[in-house]
Amino acid sequence: MPHPLLFLLAFIDILSGIFLFSHPGFLVRLVFYLGIICLMKGGWSLMTALTSKFYFDFLGFLDVIAGASLILIHFNHIFAFFTIIGIMMIVKGIWSMFFSVSS
């Protein structure tokens, strides 16, 4: 049985990745709130990694970058590298979803 919180966080990653990949002109509030959620999730991940003296938390850093990118999309600042970040977030979300189902 999938763990519901991990499944939800994986779904948020996939949805964020889709929005980063497609740069939607609609649903701007949802993009903004997903950006805030990704920033908080990444910030929490980085803080807990730093307190355990793990300085290479790539996935937390990716969440922070994705959150900042989603907020920039909300304010109509779109850059070409957002698609790469979106693909990385989709892969991260699929990977997290797989492990939420298998645990």
How many helical (H) and strand (E) elements, i.e. helices and strands, does the chain have?
Answer: 4, 0
* pLDDT confidence band for 24 (50 / 70 / 90): confident
Report the alpha-carbon distance of residue 90 to residue 96 in Å, rounded.
10
Q: Is the pLDDT of residue 102 over 80?
A: no
pLDDT in tens, 54-69: 989 999 999 999 999 9
Alpha-carbon Rg of the chain, whole angstroms?
A: 13
Q: Is the pLDDT of residue 50 over 80?
A: yes
pTM score above 0.85: yes
Averaged pLDDT for residues 64-90:
95
CA-based diameter of the chain, in Å?
A: 41
CB 13 within 8 A of CB 35: no
